[in-house]
Structure 1
Amino acid sequence: MKLYPIETGNFKLDGGAMFGVVPKTIWNKTNPADQNNLIDLAARCLLIEDGNRLILIDTGMGNKQSEKFFGYYSLWGSHSLDKSLAQYGFHRVDITDVFLTHLHFDHCGGSVQWNANKTGYEPAFKNAKFWSNQNHWEWATMPNAREKASFLSENILPMQESGQLHFIERKNGDFQADSELGFGIFFADGHTEKMMIPHIQYQDKTIVFCADLLPTAGHIPLPYVMGYDTRPLLTMPEKAKFLDTAAEKSYYLFLEHDAYNEIITVEKTEKGIWLKEVFTANEIIAAR
């Protein structure tokens, strides 16, 4: 098995929204805001090369939305999905599976693209199976008023219409040790219904793709919960359970949205769970 970090782009969001009820004077120390109160974020995905399979976890925002739409998110930097894949010698047509932690636009927008004459949409990975789960799919395709702006039909429905959509079979409990894709999955409901957090066994390590359960290293303290979470009082015990296990088992936490900290570890202290070490992706998962 080989793992590759796939940088699909950078954007900004309101720091207050990213940290909920936590005062700016506190979160600004770890995630400094600009003059518009916006903080730097990444859309960092992960590619797994395992035998004949190339599994891409999340796909970023994509590039099919309007200039007005992207203007809300202050895109910055030069990363793109295609350039990042090419860096490792891959192309979209090589991807066999696209695993989507959840279907918010910044996690799945790159899964779908315009067709050749821009009259409709088509999957951006024509040879891939797209993986979600039944509960989350229904949640996303019949969205509540709060999440409606994040679940865009053009990002979601073409996967089903193409016949390329598949569902992970969720068994009993919130952790599934082995999925159809060969890695474990922790199901979390605080951010959105049945978000999936992959746990990948790599050499002697467990690499966890944290998605929006832990967006940045600055979100480690339990009350630091995003204003975007639909059930913040559920996020807190989910995060507590997850971080306790991560500290106990020395997980390496791959951060999707932290623009400056790619992989971290955590430890238990007298004051709770705290950041232990910070690594670049290449230090931990560089192909050997």
Structure 2
Amino acid sequence: MVQGVSTVKHVVAIASGKGGVGKSTVSVNLAVAAAQLGFKAGLLDADIYGPSQARLLGVADGVMPEVVEEKIFLPIEAQGVASMSMAFLTREKTAMVWRGPMASGALQQMIESTRWGDLDVLFVDMPPGTGDIQLTLSQRTQLSGVVVVTTPQDIALIDARRAVEMFNKVSVPVLGMIQNMATHVCSNCGHEDPIFGSEGGENLANEYDSRLLANIPLSRRIRETSDAGEPIVLAEPDNAGALAYRDAASVIMASLDKAARPAAPTISMTD
């Protein structure tokens, strides 16, 4: 049986220009939501230095993937999705003190040595930035598209633009933007307050002739369910955040069905 992503219909990167915007939480909820919609979904944690998907999926520290034929990983099934993460190969307290080429090599091995099977979609939780990992993924897989995660404030949008520009340079289509921490609803009085701003994600989508896939609220329940290893789309399917994630996953999957899988890009560096 073949390993690698050759049996995966679509590979979708979930990216951001900076850390702290909730990209990993968005990634796991989109993957689980896609599974809830009836698709065979997978989740690759490409954040080599700060893998978090084991915790978000409720996989206990120390649980490792089964190895077959001495070198092939079988993904860990958790919350309805097939998953692989550096967190499954180390312990929570292990620090990856590696230079860039070593991290890129580790990602390449996870991509090529995992037996993903016949998936409809593999979501890839990217690390922040526009460096080695992003280029390795673009070179080693035929990305069907990227979803850019941002928060509404200007400082986050600056870095989100860099992410969009980077994927434009390597000819990866931007499927849309997700604005996280879009608004806060007071648990006492119900007052809604866009504490980080309100229209940054929508303006960014318009700037690049894209679309805003979802506004995800700043929610204590999303944080609590994430920490507990049960994504909000499973823990509280009628929660406003869960509904937004599910709607976004539905739009993403519909757009992938309409688009042909692009050829892998040739990457060259220019000024």
Give TM-score, length-normalised by structure 1. 0.32
Which structure features the higher share of helix residues? 2
Which structure features the higher share of strand residues? 1
Using CA pairs under 8 Å that are at least 6 residues apart, name the structure with larger relative contact order, 1 or 2. 2
Give TM-score, length-normalised by structure 2. 0.33
